Chains A and B, each alone.
Chain A
């Protein structure tokens, strides 16, 4: 199974990729905005986890989550974002996100938050 990292920041994608590789996740693909993520999920059944930024050009992460759920996909989605207000977290969960990781985070945060989702992606 693949992990899809969705973030308009190349540096943030590199950071998350580095942490995932330390967690033995090798099959990683990337998207730079919500639209690319929606397209990737509609075309690729091998994605087992999505890490989704919120603020991105072209299509935001929350818009992408809504479209992904509307399409019927049940792929786990974890928001990785600076949007830390309680109402934003609730909006994301209500829209279909499975969990929420607030930036700034360190490798331990990623490991503890994603562990339950990553088991299928390290096989």
Chain B
């Protein structure tokens, strides 16, 4: 099963001028050129001349998109390219600049004012009430079946819930709170909820980054769901960062760049490389590897001994100075738990010992690892890293406040200087350091979080999912940054479900299996296929072994 695949991540600084000129032809022309049906049957959704101006920036410039009945239409672009502005305008959150035209199944509607019944959304956060059951969540959207005096007819409601969920192959206790369900089960409920009340396949379903929070082995199940929706005749607008999904699922793809529609074209006409190139405007090398230095003879800077936790069962590890150690594995194997345990912020109690030989030869309890002050870039940026009410400056200095000024008093000039230095080093793109951090794109927010950790001048850095929700260009910038720091002696531990991350920057990869180091791979010459085998293939062999015992 090729469930894991590489996200396309790299750039070669080479410019192809003739490509560029072809790509920048007017969006309408591109749509018309690619659409022989125009004017024959009404499009499921058509938007033209859509611009949106924000204070200081233009989110969308004369964008046009056309979705045919029964197609899966992918929408791709880097962070800040205007994808979410387009989706939010369709969903009525944003008011577009005057002059935009929109129609659904031939019926015009006012963008930003009305949201037609036949246009439905599953947003990235799914919009579910996790404290309530699947049945309640579906009924909250579709309406409860009520008897006299407003009494809910629970038995009929239950039957209706099973009927709605039936078309998707999902096993789920519809009475338990969704908080207990897996991410993919929640996604099923959200999609089923959005489709309620449609019969005979009509309308357009917008899926905004549906796989962003899914573990990689569950992506396939989601794609099967999308196929099921298409089979019924409903069109899907599929927004995703992961290009491999688009090749697997989409019929046509619209590429956004800098607020403009670069092109709309059939997926069959592009490959990974050319699609990524349309997105970033420069050539892309799928085999990108950040220039890292392998240094097996450097001293050990981190040792773990017999670590136990919720998913970890007896893990031991040694990391050398200047290494970039990748941690891979399936979701249940402790890959997500390890980085938090190292930073002293594990959600479940951990046992085991940790030692930083460069600082002290004594072992200390991993449960007290917080005192070691190992900085962590958390996996969930919005909830665990960014203080969205704070400015860029306040977010960046949050971990180094004790170094700015003296005796608790903050020195404003010192703080501004530090922020200016780091935003420049990491090339953070922001209107100023005083704007709310929430106005930055995901990639730039991630750079701010990285800067927060690096400003402490650490000898050790832990990254969890460092490129989740980060666009291709920024991703490469992050790889090169980390590689450069490692060459100068920083030791980095990266845990990621994105194999592209691990392949692009690690010097060594450990594959966790059942909470222990199951395999160790040198990064030199390692291919994606070998890594996938190490994670998945041997897992099944391992399972078979267990079965025969």
Q: Do A and B come from one complex?
A: no
